[in-house]
A and B are shown apart, each in its own frame.
Chain A
Amino acid sequence: MLRVELATQLARVRTLIALAFLAAVPVLAGLLFASDAGHRNGTQTGLYGASPYSALNHTMASLEFIAPLLLPVIVALLAAAIASADRDWGILRYLYVAPVTRSRLLTAKFAAVAIATALALAVVLGAGFITGLAIFGSHPFHRIGSPNLTSTGALTRALAASGYTLLCMLSVAAIAFTLGLLLPRGAEALAASVAFIVAASILNGQSALRAVAVALPVHYWQNWVGLFEPDAATGLATGSLVQVATVAVCAAACLVVLRRRDPAA
């Protein structure tokens, strides 16, 4: 069933276009700042300011740029489609009479969502690294106003940041997937997911609404940036817990929805 889910979703033109969009951002950014190779990016600070120094710098700067909006939107697109496409196409009934059990179908869909999310993240990281390598070269990870990171240190932090971002994206994927099961059409699930991401991002930016924002998974998505700053990163554990809790609640909701829903209703 996992192969079925992957074959039906990853071979779609719109999936390939979405992934191409994700890859295009690091490529375009690299071309835009090619003339600054080895120098600070204007007056920018943090990862953006150091992006032209090395391939890994460019990779992490690309992730910081894409992770708050474009990446979650694409992940939501993939997850909502995996949840609802077979129902939209009508083949769900033929899968059930194939026969496939509900639990097997749901397990395959969960696995497909995880793979699609990891793939989307890998496209960003891969495009960023390859572009960075071609334009800025392989150099030590540069930090503005701080000593460079060792290769091992930089790689370890990059892996930790990627893992944390993957967890964050899995939470948005879980929300989109649940909406995909709940709502009648995939397009509605995608619209609702994007609306959630945008609304949550706006809420997160309002200091007066901090009490609400801390309950949203979005609030913690950029915490990994602290891994590349001189001070110790904060909020990663809390952020991870909120993402895991979101995934768990959504998975439970999916189980309830799928078990109670009459596929012919």
Chain B
Amino acid sequence: MSSAAAATATIRADDLSKRYGRRGAVDRLTFTVHAGQVCALLGPNGAGKTSTMRMLVGLSSPDSGSARIAGEPVSLGAPVLHRVGVLIDGPAFVPHLSGTGNLKLLWSAAKRAWPPPGLADALDLAGLGPAIDRKVKSYSMGMKQRLMLAQALMRVPDILILDEPANGLDPAEVRALREHLAALAEAGATVLISSHQLAEVQQLATHIVVMNRGRLIGTGPLAEVLGATTGTYRIRPDDLDRALAILRDMPGVAAAAARGEDVIVTAPTVPATALVNALVAAHVGVIAAAPAHQSLEDAYLAMTGGHDHAAR
């Protein structure tokens, strides 16, 4: 991928809105994903993630606002989609054709000569082996998902829009996919994924966009979102009960709570060293102490209010 191409490989949603009948799916959503970023589109079921992705690849027309890829407006069958690898609404194939037959079909539909440039790498990632020549109707869900990913990746896209790409994959396959996407982003590709697997997203994404009930409720670099809890520390003492009592009595400590063998202390105005010194002075050993970053799950649940099913 050329640097010039990569420089323009942005995904941009600008004030996007979409309704299906009386139901609002997406409401004035704005965000941008730049080249080199892996952006995770997060939200509860029914939050509008897939509707957003459909608009971004032209499968659905926004009622208002615009979707642009690499600066070009996206519509159904738009030429800019040649640059985009897509997995949306799950895998879909012609059941009586083989895996290879299906890949050929989807590739040649856009008047391109077989084979695609990234076929070998994509098939390697899919790991289907001799099954690639079997009829797809005999495939398991995971095999179909891997074949669909191969379809998205074989064109060596500089933009990837993947809806729940890790669905049906086993842990080793999830890791291989993560490494592949990270490598693509490092090479300048723009990646937008939606997923409910937050631990996985936390390992891959550089940025997140969080939606709920069709609206944007949070966006930014992942590190910033997770690091928003300045003044919170995780301390592992050798005597949990005494440590809790000491820390709770300290001026400036807003909260101290046990989590497993650790104490999570919220003390925005107190330096970490002061907390540790207080424990040591009281003859409580400190095994470890570090700033407590929240997990993506914590941040996500805090943002969405813990609603797992926005549509219900």
Contacts and interface: CB of A to CB of B under 8 A. Distances in A.
Interface string A101-143: 1101100000000000000000000000000000000000000
Interface residues of B, number: 33
Contact of B89 (A3, A7, A93, A98): A93
Contact of B81 (A1, A7, A97, A102): A97
Contacts of A90: 89-90, 92
A99 B82 contact: yes
B88 A97 contact: yes
Interface string A85-104: 10001110111111111101
A96 B59 contact: yes
A60 to B, nearest CB: 35
B86 interface: yes
A64 B93 CA distance: 39
A264 B60 contact: yes
Interface string B38-73: 000000000000010010011111000000000000
B110 interface: yes
Interface in B75-112: 76-79, 81-82, 84, 86, 88-90, 92-97, 101, 105-110
B50 to A, nearest CB: 9
B61 A97 contact: no
B147 to A, nearest CB: 11
- Size band of the interface chain A makes with B: 20 to 34
Contacts of A97: 57-59, 81, 84, 86, 88
Interface string B104-125: 0111111000000000000000
Nearest to B151: A94
A7 B101 CA distance: 9
B175 to A, nearest CB: 26
Contacts of A265: 20, 60
A127 to B, nearest CB: 25
B95 A99 contact: no
A232 to B, nearest CB: 48
A98 B81 contact: yes
Interface of A: 1, 3-4, 7-8, 11-13, 85, 89-91, 93-102, 104-105, 262-265
Given A98-B81, A264-B51, 7 more contacts: A89-B94, A89-B95, A90-B92, A98-B107, A102-B77, A104-B77, A264-B60
25 contacts: A7-B97, A7-B101, A7-B105, A12-B96, A85-B94, A89-B92, A89-B93, A89-B94, A91-B93, A96-B57, A96-B76, A98-B107, A98-B110, A99-B81, A100-B77, A101-B77, A102-B77, A104-B77, A105-B77, A262-B59, A263-B59, A263-B76, A264-B51, A264-B54, A264-B59
